Amino acid sequence: MLKIEYIWRELLYRTIEEKKNNFTLTDLSLKFKLSTSVVSHALFPLREIGMVKIGKNKSQVIDTERLLMYWATRRSVKKDIIYQTHSSLPVLAREASMPHGVFPTAYSGFAYYKKDPPADYENIYYYTECLDEVIKRFPQNNKKPNLFILATDPYHKIYLHTSLSQIFVDLWNLPEWYAKEFSQEALSIVKERIGL
């Protein structure tokens, strides 16, 4: 994940999950240990097309849904895959067998926000820093992969779980036919939370 995506995820987390749309460049810079020029670079396209308003003392997210779509169109899940393998275990057993310290995303992460999935799914996606533990439980093989591990970033764990915006943008970028049903359902949860 690119450093500018940390900023987009944080703004979306604040507006969707904390219902706070105000921020400052300094606050973002300090939180993610990034220079204010990197933060400004992340915000520039958002300001240009009216998703955020940048002020001297405080700034504001104006259009959460457009910001979510903007990030979704720029995200590349495929580039973040660091391990993939096949497991013959059923989906729920695979999910239950994942080691401590992983963060579910996409279909598995969706269950954190809504218990009933909109479709059956076969592939599972997780972020982790403990790849060795995953490999011990799910060794490499030559079958068609149904378990995917994504590189995490140093700030993923500050959210305690994968944020709804992260789950949505990951779903948006997945090739499985059922990704569309999950992303539409995730978007409707987002809209409900932001009052649309």
Same domain, 92 and 183: yes
Residues 60, 84 share a domain? no
Instruction: Please indicate, yes or no, whether residues 41 and 92 belong to a single structural domain of this protein.
Output: no
Are 92 and 69 found together in one domain?
A: no
**One domain, residues 92 and 127:** yes
Domain match, 57 and 120 both: no
Mean pLDDT of the chain: 96
- Assess whether 64 and 98 both reside in one domain: no
59 is in which domain, residue-wise? 3-74
Out of 23, 54, 74, a domain closes at: 74
Q: Are residues 83 and 45 in the same domain?
A: no
Q: How confident is the model at residue 160 (pLDDT cuts 50, 70, 90)?
A: confident
Three-state SS string across the chain, please?
A: CCHHHHHHHHHHHHHHHCCCCEECHHHHHHHHCCCHHHHHHHHHHHHHCCCEECCCCCEEECCHHHHHHHHHHHCCHHHHEEEEECCCCCHHHHHHCCCCCEEEEHHHHHCCCCCCCCCCCCCEEEEECCHHHHHHHCCCCCCCCCEEEEECCCCHHHHCCCCHHHHHHHHHCCCCCCHHHHHHHHHHHHHHHHCC
User: Tokens 């598995």 sit at which residue?
Assistant: 108
Query: What is the value of pTM for the model shown?
Result: 0.94
Where a domain ends, among 74, 103, 125?
74
Are 85 and 177 within one domain?
yes
* Total residue count of the chain as it appears in this document: 196
Q: Is residue 107 domain-shared with residue 180, that is, in the same domain?
A: yes
- Residue 191: pLDDT band (50, 70, 90) is very high
Both 98 and 155 in a single domain? Answer: yes
Q: In whole angstroms, what separates CA 192 from the centre of its chain?
A: 18
For residue 72, what pLDDT is reported? 98
Tell me, yes or no, whether 168 and 96 share the same domain.
yes
HSE-up (13 A, CA, CB side) for residue 173: 22
Of 53, 74, 95, the residue at which a domain comes to its end is: 74
Number of domains in the chain: 2
Instruction: Give 142's pLDDT tier (boundaries 50, 70, 90).
Output: very high
Q: How far apart are CA 174 and CA 19, in angstroms?
A: 28
Spatial CA neighbour of 112 closest among 104, 102, 123: 104
CATH of the domain at 14: 1.10.10.10
pLDDT in tens, 161-186: 999 999 999 999 999 999 999 999 99
